[in-house]
A = this chain, B = another copy of it.
């Protein structure tokens, strides 16, 4: 199968590597609006060819993967559906789904599109961030599959099972709510933690000297690109605000317990937080 990947960054590039590794793509065509990234993707062998015309790139493919940031995705996906025939399949790999699915709801080719969110990533971006095996053993969410043609869903299921990934099914609203909890809020807290430490700790050398593994792991996501994350926060704004308000409430509560020297109360909250280890061992 020929696969066209639009957007050769972390996710698009890593998916190219995975599809090739598992023999799922015979020929890989890339579309990438950043010329430096396009050249680099060829150098790295992520794709076999770069095509500058979207319609030409799409028409050659059995499967089209749209792997651009969420703001571009809402514009590019309808254009891709405009260009495909009745037997081609299109997927996205975006982090929010409601706005995207609304944007293609009435499209005559809606059935050929399957909304996909692989729950995998790193804090890096661009073709150099592409890593072999990024998706292996991770979850992939398929959204609102009832609106996609059964053969398109089956092709996508077989493809992601082969990587191998664990398939989950959610409607778009549930997807956007749950990802606010288990992904988007982590990025907000990590950005805020980096800003806190950079603000308070003017001697940057001290951060470097002293930072242990704990700090590095909580602040890792703060390296993530604004071009990726602002559109995600924008499209999932109400869910993110809701979870963020709960997080602020929890932090305020811990602050009050410490300020009032209620150490039994603080220990009880930490014991509650420890329950996370039953879920994420």
A residues bordering B, Cβ < 8 Å? 119-123, 138-139, 141, 166, 168, 178-179, 181-183, 185-201, 204, 206-227, 229-230, 233-234, 237, 240-248, 250-252, 254-255, 258-259, 261, 263, 266-267, 269-280
In the assembly, what is the distance between CA of A196 and CA of B190, in Å? 15
Enumerate 28 A-B pairs (CB-CB under 8 Å) in ascending A order. A120-B212, A121-B212, A123-B214, A138-B212, A139-B210, A141-B210, A168-B209, A181-B207, A190-B218, A192-B254, A194-B273, A198-B272, A198-B275, A200-B242, A207-B280, A208-B279, A211-B279, A211-B280, A217-B221, A218-B220, A219-B276, A222-B273, A226-B271, A230-B267, A241-B255, A244-B254, A248-B248, A248-B252
Chain B residue contacts of A119, Cβ below 8 A: 210-212
Chain B residue contacts of A247, Cβ below 8 A: 192-193, 196, 251
Question: Nearest Cβ in chain B — how far from A227, in angstroms?
Answer: 8
Main SS of the interface on chain A? Answer: helix
Chain B residue contacts of A189, Cβ below 8 A: 189, 192-193, 218, 251
Asked, given contacts A141-B210, A206-B178, A276-B222, whether A192 binds B241 with beta carbons under 8 Å apart, the answer is no
Chain B residue contacts of A273, Cβ below 8 A: 190-192, 194-195, 198, 222
> Would you call B276 and A223 a contact (CB within 8 A)?
yes
